[in-house]
Amino acid sequence: MKKILTSLVTVSLLSSIAMAGDYYGGVDFGFGKGSSSIKSGILSQDDDFSITIFGIHGGYNLDLNSKLEVSFKSLNFDFDDGGDTDGHQFGVDYIYVLDEVSKLKPYLGAGISVNSLDVKIANSDTIDGLGFKLRAGTYYALSPQLDIGAELNYTYVGWDDLKHKDTNEIIESSSNFYGLGLNVNYKF
Question: Domain containing 113 — which CATH number?
Answer: 2.40.160.20
Residue 16 lies in a domain: no
Residue 90 lies in a domain: yes
Residue 11 lies in a domain: no
Measured between alpha carbons, how far is 124 from 162 in angstroms, rounded to an integer? 9
- pLDDT, tens only, 110-166: 999 999 998 765 556 788 999 999 999 999 999 999 999 999 999 999 998 877 677
How many domains does the chain contain in total?
1
Of 164 and 100, the one with more pLDDT: 100
Question: What per-residue confidence (pLDDT) applies to 3?
Answer: 53
Residue 6 lies in a domain: no
Those residues with Cβ within 8 angstroms of residue 119's Cβ, 6 or more apart along the chain or in another chain? 85, 125, 126, 127
What mean pLDDT is predicted for residues 83-94?
95
Question: What per-residue confidence (pLDDT) applies to 21?
Answer: 60
Cβ 36 vs Cβ 162: under 8 Å: no
Residue 152 lies in a domain: yes
DSSP string, 87-154: EEEEEEEEEEES-SSSSEEEEEEEEEEEEEEEEEETTEEEEEEEEEEEEEEEEEESSSSEEEEEEEEE
With residue 19 as reference, give the H or E element that holds it: helix 2-19
Of 124 and 87, the one with more pLDDT: 87
Please give the share of the chain, as a percent, with pLDDT higher than 90.
66
Question: What per-residue confidence (pLDDT) applies to 123?
Answer: 58
Q: 125: which strand partners?
A: none
Question: Where in the sequence is the domain holding 95, given as residue range(s)?
Answer: 22-187
Residue 163 lies in a domain: yes
What mean pLDDT is predicted for residues 18-46?
85
Residue 7 lies in a domain: no
Mean pLDDT rounded to a whole number for the chain: 87
Q: Is the dihedral of CA 24, 53, 124, 45 positive or negative?
A: negative
- pLDDT, tens only, 49-73: 999 999 999 999 999 899 999 999 9
Measured between alpha carbons, how far is 175 from 77 in angstroms, rounded to an integer? 11
What mean pLDDT is predicted for residues 167-179?
88
Residue 12 lies in a domain: no
pTM of the model: 0.81
Please give the share of the chain, as a percent, with pLDDT higher than 70.
85
Q: Is the pLDDT of residue 16 over 80?
A: no
- Torsion angle, CA of 25/31/32/37, rounded to 10 degrees? 80
Cβ 120 vs Cβ 85: under 8 Å: no
Query: Does residue 59 sit in helix, strand or coil?
Result: strand
Which of 22-36, 38-52, 129-143 has the lowest average pLDDT?
Answer: 38-52
Question: What per-residue confidence (pLDDT) applies to 120?
Answer: 63
